[in-house]
Chain A
Amino acid sequence: MKRSPKDTEASARKITRRGLVLGGLQAGMLGVLGWRMRQMQVEQADEFRLLAEENRINMRLIAPARGLIFDRNGIPVAENTQNYRVVIVREDAGDVDTVIDRLRQLIYLDPDELERSLREMQRRSPFVPVTLTDQRSWEDIATVAVNAPALPGIFPDVGLTRHYPLGPDFSHIVGYVGPVSDYDLNRIEDNDPLLQIPKFQIGKTGVENKYERDLRGKAGSKRIEVNAAGRVMRELGRDNGVPGSDLQLTVDTNLQNFVEARLMLEESAAAVVMDPRSGDLLAIGSAPTFDPNKFVRGISSADYAELTENKYRPLANKSVQGAYPPGSTFKMMVALAALESGISSEETAYCPGFTKVGDRRFHCWKRGGHGYVNLEKSLQQSCDVYYYEMAQKIGVDKIAEVARRFGFGERFDIPMSAVTGGIMPDKQWKRERYGKDWLVGDSLNASIGQGFVLASPLQLAVMTARLASGNAIMPRLVKSIDGIETEIVGASPLGFNENHLRLVRKGMYAVANTRRGTGYSVRIDADGHKLAGKSGTSQVRNITAAERARGVTSNSDLPWERRDHALFVAFAPFENPTHAAAVVVEHGGGGSSVAGPLARDVLLYAMYGGMPPIEAYPSYQRGKIREMQAKLVLRDSAASPGRDRA
């Protein structure tokens, strides 16, 4: 087809015209692109650069090593050990199921644990190592390492975990750590980023819990460059953090081991040994006990059920959590209150075997009565009627005032779980608690450590230590933190008349060292080691008039839960007390027959710094003592004989 030149010219002009329009549009678009580039790269550059840095740099926390816990002699009671574990990297494993099947042929894998790991694997990126199993033996790890070619993506790995080398001995004192739970996170106001680390171990009970902040340390961090998938490309910088503070306890591991072993000879018992000069808690025993290492690993439900269903309550730390009627061990408080109220130590009360208040009879433990009783004899023979009389004379408020200065009703601030303050009742307390007036009978019950009065073995130990030293000594469990000694609190006089204290101590001496004393059988036959003490047998049931008439049922005929608690408090040596002890044997029966021997064994061991010579015991008892000693299950270091340090 031919086209006229005119048409051609017109066509070219049209193309040029329209082309210019198009070119204009394109130039405009170029302008927009240039403007956008300027806006992003010049005006907002800083903003974007920051975003790029955030993209690229990741902070990873480095968990600090948890502070160690030592006993007073530097023996470790809580340490960090290598935790051998097996991890899997999904990406490297390829066929995860096959690889895990092969691994299961080599080492045992707990099905529940495996299930959890597989779930976690699904949640995480393929290159993130997921723990398949931990707390493995070196043999297992070696097996995995040797078979590495057949196990792609499976690697042996090592981390730190808490270990309690002394196992059950310290489970109640030190407690245990465990992986941080959602419950923990909700409960504690703590924004420490460490808590966000999966399975990070924090203190759950005891010192581990109370000193969590000191023990945990400060998180370190490393700055790493990551790529888009989160894979670590290289480390840019590192701050190792601050390891947790090391704690030194006042406890002596050998004595603690002996105490626990000795307590285990009873069904359920607690004992506290302290130094009356410094308040150092040398041993805090509670039996039965449990292995804290099981909790660190994650206790199985069967093991846990066994602990919770045991009627002797192994999980409870009876020495500080248990509140018991102190029974006759409370009589020192009443005696001192009487002296402080101006009653002479020689003033006597007549004991016909009971006291009558109104038409109600309050019985003495001795049916026939003690006859005329002065202060020393009242302690020596534990005459109840003497204290009934004193309580009526001085009133409960005076008794409570004195007892409180010895730690009754006070919750001591020591780093253990669920420390109880017991109860030291007075008139106001009863009004507030029950809305009722205090009755004379309440005073009588209180005067022999029954009724409303409740105290823990720790409180009884503190009372004994304060009686022995005359100082307002406070119990101390942590001796030093990172080598810095903690303060000794209360090494100053209680403010009682020294003569009055001496009279009470003399009464306690008579208990264990005179022929008529209730604790004569638990005397110590080594000069310079003699103990002064007081037994207590506290009822956990009411004895009806009918029962009393036909004769009080003997403890051995009662079911365990209804038997009397056996208590004994003592300090030694009498002349220069270095140790004070309180023992409670739950439903053990007689204070002087069950708790007394225990207290003596513990004090002797403490004084000799090891197994005491048999000569320290009265000669006629030595056969039985040897039998008892043979039954003890001690660690080697605790079984060695002690040297006479007195």
Chain B
Amino acid sequence: MSYLEYNVKRVPTGLSKILYLNWPLILLLMAVASVGFLMLYSVAGGSLEPWAEPQMKRFALGMAAMLTIAMVPIWFWRNMAGLAYGVSILLLLAVEFFGTTGMGATRWIDLGFMRLQPSELTKITLVMILAAYYDWLDIRRTSHPLWVAIPLILILLPTFLVLKQPDLGTAILLVAGGGTVMFLAGVSWWYFGVVIAGVGGLVFAVFASRGTDWQLIKDYQFRRIDTFLDPSSDPLGAGYHITQSKIALGSGGWTGRGFMQGTQSRLNFLPEKHTDFIFTTLAEEFGFLGASSLLVLYGLIILFCFYSAFSNKDRFGSLLTLGIGTTFFLFFAINMSMVMGLAPVVGVPLPMVSYGGSAMLVLLVAFGLTQSAHVHRPRGR
């Protein structure tokens, strides 16, 4: 085991681990979550119900989970990676057969006390299994075709299951997150070149399939692409979301309309204002200053993840931290691009801010893993 080659005696033990947590990261997460509570309180018309309070409870739960996970040595989690991945694949299959359908997609398993969204979980377990895989793999074999095929299968299996739900946003995140870990692990540039070319070809095929018997994606997905390319073509129909979202965002100006003063969200012009489009409410009410502050907070979270990863000599911990950081980055980058009209609407929430239990819990669990990697990182020789 690679950590044995380091001086593990300097790894903290017992409750003293708390002192070695990546505290700036925790504080940043709390700050971002607070922004979320504030916005959920605002979009509910100045009420803790129905969104802000459940969200706070989940955050508390998630923080507890994060700290608990952080206390457990990282090698335990590495050993759990295979199991976690297996469980999440099973859960995805369960969704396929027993899932709850909502808004044209089957994404949840109703557990009674909460609705579990296995695709959220998969984003993390995929990063875990890949990090563990490359930790195990001889680095000289990283670019060998056989050893490249295995992680590809690991990525594509859940991606396929998620696409069937269908959930394009998560599928993109899975591929991008998995690809990132492969890239960091040192897989040859060539493969990425080939994949990018392949994706290009696939996009072409998708468009070519439109209207034919073998149409590859659903009509609504085509419409989303159409309206992304030209939202004004159908401002009250399919382009409504993005047009209204841009209006809300743009009308915020420098300093915004003030807390709870956003007319767009107040008057329900904004769709899904408490979930995917919550950023527009923030931008409308707090303007450029508020929106760019959130961007800075997110940027700092990524920065601390990278710092933690670079200072970690453990291959698993380092890959895991970067993979999770990048997944987190993809979350907010795609969401913001989406609401600002830079990307099609694919249904990716704003991490730690959008209302939603599964996503927040999973993210905090993921950050718990990075904390564990941070606390238990090998320190020098």
Interface residues of A, Cβ cutoff 8 Å to B: 1, 3, 5, 7-8, 10-12, 14-16, 18-19, 22-23, 26-27, 29-30, 32-34, 36-38, 40-42, 44-45, 47-49, 51-52, 55-56, 225-229, 233
B213 within 8 A of A: no
Q: Is B35 an interface residue (CB 8 A)?
A: no
B186 contacts across to A, CB distance below 8 A: 11, 14-15, 18
The reply to whether B315 and A8 contact each other, CB–CB distance below 8 Å, is: yes
9 A-B residue pairings within 8 Å (CB atoms): A12-B313, A26-B302, A30-B333, A37-B340, A41-B291, A42-B288, A48-B251, A51-B251, A228-B244
Chain B 305-329 residues near chain A, CB threshold 8 A: 306, 309-310, 313, 315, 318-319, 322, 326, 329
Q: Which of A18, A27, A41 contacts B250 (CB 8 A)?
A: A41
Contact A5 B268 (CB under 8 A): no
Residue among B140, B299, B322 making CB contact with A30, cutoff 8 Å: B299
Instruction: Mark B277-295 against chain A: 1 for CB-CB distance below 8 A, else 0.
Output: 0000001000110011001
Encode B128-139 as 1/0 by CB contact (under 8 A) with A. 000000001011
Provide the residues of chain B in CB contact with A56, threshold 8 Å. Answer: 263-264, 267, 269
For window 108-147 of chain B, which residues contact chain A by CB distance below 8 Å? 136, 138-140
Check if B105 is an interface residue, CB within 8 A of chain A: no
Bound CA–CA A12/B270 (angstroms): 46
B283→A41 contact, CB < 8 A: yes
A7 and B139 contact, Cβ closer than 8 Å, known pairs A37-B340, A41-B288, A233-B267:
yes
| Structural contact, B319 and A15, CB atoms closer than 8 A | yes
B184 adjacent to A37 (CB under 8 Å): no
| B247: interface (CB < 8 Å) | yes
Asked whether any CB of chain A lies closer than 8 Å to the CB of B13, the reply is no
Do residues B322 and A37 form an inter-chain contact, with CB atoms below 8 A?
A: no
A41 CB contact (under 8 Å) in B2, B180, B254? B254
Q: Check B185 against A15 for contact (C-beta < 8 Å).
A: yes
Flag whether B82 is at the interface (Cβ < 8 A).
Answer: no
Bound together, the chains give a CA A8 to CA B316 distance in angstroms of: 11
> What band does the interface of chain B fall in when counting residues whose beta carbon is under 8 Å from A?
35 or more
Which residue of chain B has its CB nearest to the CB of A33? B336
Nearest Cβ distance between residue B74 and chain A, in whole angstroms? 15
Interface residues of B (CB under 8 A from A): 2, 5, 136, 138-140, 180, 183-186, 244, 246-254, 263-264, 267-270, 283, 287-288, 291-292, 295, 298-299, 302, 306, 309-310, 313, 315, 318-319, 322, 326, 329, 333, 336-337, 340, 342
Contact at A228–B2, with CB atoms within 8 Å? no
Of the residues B270, B302, B340, contact of A33 by C-beta under 8 Å: B340
A11 and B292: CB pair below 8 A?
A: no
Choose one: A26, A37, A233; the contact of B326 (CB below 8 Å).
Answer: A26
Identify 6 new A-B residue pairs, CB closer than 8 A, beyond the known A3-B5, A56-B269. A15-B185, A16-B310, A19-B184, A19-B309, A22-B183, A32-B342
Contact residue among B139, B250, B295 (Cβ-Cβ distance under 8 Å from A45) = B250
User: Quick one: which of A12, A16, A37 contacts B295, CB cutoff 8 A?
Assistant: A37
How far apart are B45's CB and chain A's nearest CB, in angstroms? Answer: 12
Distance of A8 Cα from B248 Cα, bound (Å)? 50
Is B333 within 8 A of A38, CB to CB? Answer: no
Decide: A45 near B283, CB < 8 A? Known: A15-B315, A19-B310.
no
Among A33, A41, A233, max chain B CB count under 10 A is at A41
A226-B267 CB under 8 A given contacts A22-B183, A45-B250, A45-B253: yes
